[in-house]
Amino acid sequence: MHTIDGQQKQDIKSMTLEELQQDFARQGLPKFRALQVYQWLHRGVSSFEEMTDLSKTLRGELEAKYYISVATIEKKQVSLYDNTVKYLFSFPDGECVEAVLMQYHHGYSLCISTQVGCRMGCTFCATGKSGFARNLAASEMLAQIQAAQRDQGVRVSNLVLMGMGEPLDNYENVLRFLELVSSPKGMQIGMRHISLSTCGIVDKIYDLARRKWQLTLSVSLHAPNDAIREQTMPVNRRWPMRELLEACRFYTQTTHRRISFEYAMIQGVNDSDACAKELARRLEGILSHVNLIPVNAVAGAGYEKSTAQRLQAFCRILEQKGIAATVRRTLGSDIDASCGQLRRRHKEEVT
Ligand code: SAH
Ligand code: SF4
């Protein structure tokens, strides 16, 4: 429930088709009306007015009871190198989140945010540094996709939950979003085309595994041991690496899906040969792939990115030890495409 124009209104785009049907049935409306409305919502309309096959009376009734979440483009940056588009979206309460649209040979992939800010406080991350404001509703995650699609006139075929926020710290809403976005009567982006990135909320990884969805799990590891990981990722104190890697092993064994381990290389912190060897040992026997990227320098963090040669050398050690690894190409490097940076600058500009 939200108060809009002084009235309590319900978030209709976060409702599943079944919930909408039940709600409509309670109001004495026929079942097929719920499907009609659901399809309009998932095609991305921003008002009930646009639902032209409903009577004016019904549109008015819906307007009185529900609201439709939309994301408004506040800022937009287009990369000169590779057509990557970075958005700063705002919601009616004034909060902003970022999303990045990337073009690959197989289609368009959108990286979306799941929270305004983040509670996890990783020291290298711009989002972590700017604190936490609130969770996003499922409808606000859908709204980011719809706004990007409308802006570019394209269909997004792949999703990455790797923007601002920790998806597993907003678990209920993220689960609801995943069900909605993959639903046959909705946008139909299948689980195989969705990646979810987490800093390692262990109990939720077990829960996700048990659902046996064909989702790709990315785990932000960024260190080969607790001593280093604790320095940069406070979450490691709650769930140390041994517990995290056990959960990852369970995830791969239960879902038969490979896990992507993210590893941002920070000069002099986690990028030595010894780190590579230790990492290889820790990942032994887990169906995995390591993505190495140079850390993106964030103001105030005091970290330098490792050199390209260091990344290559680190990658080679992992491969020699039988761990699949790649040095990831970074898209949109000229437009701060790493999460949290655009919002942080925007906030500094307006305050
Ligand atoms: N909270 C989730 C997803 C959002 S962060 C998570 O942490 O996985 C998305 C990715 O960007 C994560 O892999 C995160 O570790 C990485 N990241 C954050 N700040 C970065 C930086 N300055 N340089 C490189 N990667 C960064
Ligand atoms: Fe949050 Fe992920 Fe940033 Fe850590 S890296 S602060 S978990 S968004």
Q: What is the pLDDT along the chain (351 residues), one digit of tens a residue?
A: 676 666 789 999 999 999 999 999 999 999 999 999 999 999 999 999 999 999 999 999 999 999 999 999 999 999 888 889 999 999 999 999 999 999 988 899 999 999 999 999 999 999 988 899 999 999 999 999 999 999 999 999 999 999 999 999 999 999 999 999 999 999 999 999 999 999 999 999 999 999 999 999 999 999 999 999 999 999 999 999 999 999 999 999 999 999 999 999 999 999 999 999 999 999 999 999 999 999 998 877 889 999 999 999 999 999 999 999 999 866 555 555 555 555 555 554 443
Query: Which sign, positive or negative, has the C-alpha torsion 261, 266, 270, 271?
Result: positive
339 has catalytic annotation: yes
Q: What pLDDT is recorded for position 351?
A: 39
199 has catalytic annotation: no
For residue 226, give the H/E element and its range. helix 226-232
Rounded Cα–Cα distance for residues 321 and 259 (Å): 17
Q: What pLDDT is recorded for position 339?
A: 53
Rounded Cα–Cα distance for residues 105 and 139 (Å): 28
Mutate which of 86, 98, 197 for ligand 1? The one with the most ligand atoms within 8 Å of its CB, which is 197
Q: What pLDDT is recorded for position 79?
A: 86
Distance of CA 314 from the midpoint of ligand 1 (Å): 19
Phi first, then psi: give them for residue 41, nearest 5 degrees: -60, -40
Q: What pLDDT is recorded for position 77?
A: 94
Angle at 218 between CA 217 and CA 219, to 5 degrees: 115
- Note whether 159 and 109 are within 8 A (CB): yes
Q: Which of 49, 74, 339, 348 is catalytic?
A: 339
Tokens for 318? 């992992």
Tokens for 348? 């500094």
Distance of CA 217 from the midpoint of ligand 1 (Å): 14
Q: Quote the pTM value.
A: 0.94
303 Cα nearest atom in ligand 1: 22
Rounded Cα–Cα distance for residues 310 and 48 (Å): 55
What are 68-99's pLDDT values in tens digits? 999 999 999 998 888 899 999 999 999 999 99
What are 169-184's pLDDT values in tens digits? 999 999 999 999 999 9
Q: Is 199 in the pocket of ligand 2 (CB under 6 A)?
A: yes
Measured from the alpha carbon of residue 338, the closest ligand is 1
**Which residue blocks in 256-328 are alpha helix, DSSP H?**
273-283, 308-320
For residue 7, give the H/E element and its range. strand 7-11
Q: How far is CA 202 from the centre of its chain?
A: 17
Q: What pLDDT is recorded for position 350?
A: 44
For residue 101, give the H/E element and its range. strand 96-104
Beta strands in the chain (DSSP E): 2-4, 7-11, 66-67, 72-78, 85-90, 96-104, 107-111, 115-117, 132-135, 156-161, 194-198, 216-220, 259-265, 288-294, 325-327
Rounded Cα–Cα distance for residues 128 and 166 (Å): 10
